[in-house]
Amino acid sequence: MLLVASYKKDREVLGIYPTTNSGDIDVTKATMLQSYFLYVLKDSKLNWDGKSFINLEGKIGATKGYSIVNFLKDKEVSVSENSSNIGDVRKLIAKRIQGFVNQESKIDRYLKSNPQYSKKIKKITLPILVKPYYILFSKEFYNKNSELANMIWNEMKYHDTNNKFEKLHKRYN
């Protein structure tokens, strides 16, 4: 079981996502939304207009295995993949990449606790992508416990409509 996994077709071999009666992914049963943002050096002219990059002349960093890598490649961006979220921060400071795209929840927290980087890096405020994340149950677990899995997914939907998850998230961040 993965506690938070965005939808990727190739992850269907790993497990089961919540679906609607028609077989589509049920976005109402997501555990949370994650926003991906562009981070650049403070003096950079690189920007994002909501559809494409402006003044992109180099590579954009992204964490290997994250779904954002394919999103960037689909936009014909030259991507420098890194094995860790923090590696892109270091690459950007060293000017080995022009910017990087990553999950706001991970990078903002890191920059907040590392002022030596936050004084040099800015986040472009328009998100690149906002994605729902789901509990992904293994096929074996789901086949043996489908009723329990569906109860858990339904509970996520209930908490989402009552903003309980958001309140807890804010409390611990």
Residue ranges per structural domain of the chain: 2-31+137-172, 32-130
Is pLDDT at 167 greater than 70 in this prediction?
Answer: no
- If pLDDT is split at 50, 70 and 90, which confidence band does 2 have? low
pLDDT in tens, 99-151: 999 999 899 999 999 999 999 999 999 999 998 889 999 999 999 999 999 99
pLDDT at 1: 56
Q: Helices 164-172 and 139-161: crossing angle, nearest 10°?
A: 90
Contact 48, 56 (CB under 8 A): no
Span 6-20, average pLDDT: 89
pLDDT at residue 168, as a whole number: 57
Assess contact for 35 and 159: CB atoms under 8 A.
Answer: no
d(CA 128, CA 52): 9
CATH of domain 32-130: 3.40.190.10
What is the rounded CA–CA span in Å between residue 105 and residue 16? 25
pLDDT tens by residue, 29-81: 988 888 999 999 999 999 999 999 999 999 999 999 888 999 999 999 999 99
Q: Which residues of 158-168 are buried (b: 16+ CB within 10 A; e: fewer)?
A: ebbeeeeeeee
pTM over 0.85: no
> Are the beta carbons of 6 and 133 closer than 8 angstroms?
yes
19 Rama sector, left if φ>0, alpha if ψ -120 to 50, beta otherwise: beta
